[in-house]
Amino acid sequence: MAKIILAVSGGVDSMVMLDMICRSEQYSSGDIIVAHFDHGIRENSAEDAAFVERKAREYGVEFRLGEGELGKGASETEARTARYDFLHNIDPSATIFTAHHLDDLVETVAINLIRGTGWRGLAVLDTPGIKRPFLETEMFYEPMDRMAIMEYAAKRRLEFREDPSNSWDEYLRNRVRHQMDNFPLDFEQKMQIYQLWQAQKQLKSEINPDVVRLLPAQDDSWQRAWFRDLAPNLALELLRAGILRAGIAATRPQLEDFRQAILNYAPGKYFNLPGDKLVKLNKTNFEL
């Protein structure tokens, strides 16, 4: 059987995932790699790595450690990119398991709404090659939220480590989580968001092939005249795909600003995409 990589931070979510997977009859200990990434953001983060390594030995599974030196000022995006680079490089043929749960899904949707999102803001946590067992009913009877995970940990008397960075308000996710703690959703409300998520993921799977088919070839220039005839939503989808191919991510409002620039900027002017990437708008075309 192909290997599976469990992304284990040492927190309660990933420790419950580790326990459930190791107790499952679907996997043998030889199939499982426990992977921990030390971002180098906190001074005592090596203690988390040592804890996870000890637990991997107790479960009788392989352990891999990745180390970064990002420093306390690292952004959420930098930390996530470094972590997934490490996970993907362990074994490109393996499937990565993460401990995202129902509350993480709700928080991610809320963050996207804050940032300004279109329909794709609900089609999140859907990366090929990554499984999220707490959100996939093929492994459990229904999605698990934070309360269910805590109940499982208590029942099994699992050890875990609290990450103090979860309380740092520098991170948008933490600020959103703290606000949502003041206005908690019940399980039925979370499941309504879950069902919307499932529907939007299906919509994405249907739309993406058409977007790829319509996308100009990588080395081709983009004709400004196209955008006078394209429906705004289609134009935004094509721009999103094009700049993602160029390694740039943008919110929907940023994409709309770019579309307006394509329609209205005088020849020779530049548009500033995220990451200080400049696009020169010529009289008839531009290049990404």
pLDDT digits (tens, 9 = 90+) for 216-227: 998 899 999 999
Q: What is the per-residue DSSP string for 98-140?
A: ----HHHHHHHHHHHHHH---GGGGS-S--TTEE-GGG-TTTS
pLDDT of residue 51: 96
Cα–Cα distance measured from residue 20 to residue 164, given in angstroms and rounded to the nearest whole number: 25
The average confidence (pLDDT) of the chain is 89
Identify the weakest region by mean pLDDT among 48-52, 258-262, 265-269, 274-278.
274-278
Structure tokens at 247: 């390694």
Structure tokens at 164: 């103090």
pLDDT of residue 117: 77
Calculate ∠ Cα 175-253-243, nearest 5°. Answer: 105
* Cβ contact 5:91 at 8 Å: yes
Structure tokens at 99: 């401990």
Unique residue bearing structure tokens 């390694």: 247
Q: If we measure between CA atoms, which residue out of 1, 9, 12 comes closest to residue 152?
A: 12
pLDDT of residue 234: 93
* Cβ contact 6:33 at 8 Å: yes
DSSP SS3 for 283: coil
pLDDT of residue 33: 97
pLDDT of residue 208: 92
Q: If we measure between CA atoms, which residue out of 158, 204, 227, 208 comes closest to residue 18?
A: 158
Single pTM value for the model: 0.82
Q: Which residue would you say has higher pLDDT here, 183 or 65?
A: 65
Q: Beta-strand (E) ranges in the chain? A: 4-7, 32-38, 62-67, 95-97, 130-131, 222-223, 269-273, 277-281, 285-286
Mean pLDDT (whole number) for 235-262:
93
Unique residue bearing structure tokens 């949707």: 109
Bridge partners of residue 38, in order along the sequence: 67
Q: If we measure between CA atoms, which residue out of 277, 18, 42, 270 comes closest to residue 168?
A: 42
Which range, 157-166, 176-185, 216-225, is most confident?
Answer: 216-225
Calculate ∠ Cα 173-149-88, nearest 5°. Answer: 60
Q: Which residues contact 75 (CB under 8 A, 6 or more apart)?
A: none
130 φ, ψ to 5°?
-125, 130
Given a cut of 80, is residue 137 above it in pLDDT?
Answer: no
Q: If we measure between CA atoms, which residue out of 173, 195, 176 comes closest to residue 184?
A: 176
Structure tokens at 78: 């930098």
Given a cut of 60, is residue 167 above it in pLDDT?
Answer: no
pLDDT of residue 210: 92
pLDDT of residue 74: 65
pLDDT of residue 11: 95
Give per-residue burial for 181-192: e unless 16+ CB within 10 Å, then b.
eeeeeeeeebee
Query: How many of the other CB atoms lie within 10 Å of CB of 162?
Result: 11
DSSP SS3 for 120: helix
pLDDT digits (tens, 9 = 90+) for 93-130: 999 999 999 999 999 998 888 877 778 888 889 988 89
Cα–Cα distance measured from residue 157 to residue 258, given in angstroms and rounded to the nearest whole number: 53
pLDDT of residue 70: 62
Identify the weakest region by mean pLDDT among 88-97, 142-151, 244-253.
244-253
Given a cut of 90, is residue 79 above it in pLDDT?
Answer: no
